[in-house]
Amino acid sequence: MDITELTRKILDRRAKDGDPLRIVQAGHPALRRTSLSARGRLAPELLLELVDAMTVTMRDAPGVGLAAPQVGLPLSLYVIEDRVRAAAGVGSEEEQHGEDGEHGENGDDAPDQPHESHGRRAVDDTDELDDLEERDAEDDLLERRPVPLRALLDPQVTLLGTERVYAWEGCLSVDGWQSIVPRSRRVRVQALELLPGGELREIDEEHVGWPARILQHETDHLAGTLCHDLMVPRSYIESGYAPYYADLGEAVRRLGLSGEIAELGEGEVIAR
| One-letter-per-residue 3-state SS of 187-201 | EEEEEEEECCCCCEE
Stretch 5-29: mean pLDDT: 97
pLDDT band at 93 (very low <50, low <70, confident <90, very high): very low
How big is the chain, counted in residues? 272
**Which pLDDT score is estimated for 125?**
60
**Which pLDDT score is estimated for 155?**
98
CA dist., res. 64 & res. 115, Å (int): 9
pLDDT digits (tens, 9 = 90+) for 71-92: 999 999 999 999 975 433 323 2
Roughly what angle, to the nearest 10 degrees, separates helices 44-60 and 3-12? 40
pLDDT band at 105 (very low <50, low <70, confident <90, very high): very low
**Which pLDDT score is estimated for 120?**
33
Please check if 171 is assigned to a binding site. Answer: yes
| Distances in whole angstroms, Cα of residue 95 to Cα of each of 48, 116, 139, 192 | 26, 19, 19, 31
Ranges of each domain in the chain: 3-271
pLDDT digits (tens, 9 = 90+) for 30-64: 999 999 999 999 999 999 999 999 999 999 999 99
Query: Which residue did the predictor score with more confidence, 100 or 198?
Result: 198
Query: Which residue did the predictor score with more confidence, 136 or 6?
Result: 6
pLDDT over threshold 60, residue 129? no
Burial of 98 (0-12, 13-18, 19+ CB in 10 A): middle
- Give the global pTM: 0.84
Q: Evaluate whether 64 touches 214 at the Cβ level (below 8 Å).
A: yes
Task: Determine if residue 246 is left, alpha or beta; phi over 0 gives left, psi from -120 to 50 gives alpha, anything else beta.
Answer: alpha
**Which pLDDT score is estimated for 1?**
80
pLDDT band at 69 (very low <50, low <70, confident <90, very high): very high
Tell me, yes or no, if 105 is annotated catalytic. no
The percent of residues in the chain predicted with pLDDT above 70, rounded, is 81
pLDDT band at 138 (very low <50, low <70, confident <90, very high): confident
Q: What is the CATH number of domain 3-271?
A: 3.90.45.10
User: Average pLDDT over the chain, rounded to whole?
Assistant: 86
Please check if 217 is assigned to a binding site. Answer: yes
Pick the catalytic residue from 218, 238, 250, 260: 218
The H or E element spanning position 250 is: helix 248-255
- Provide the 8-state DSSP code for 36: B
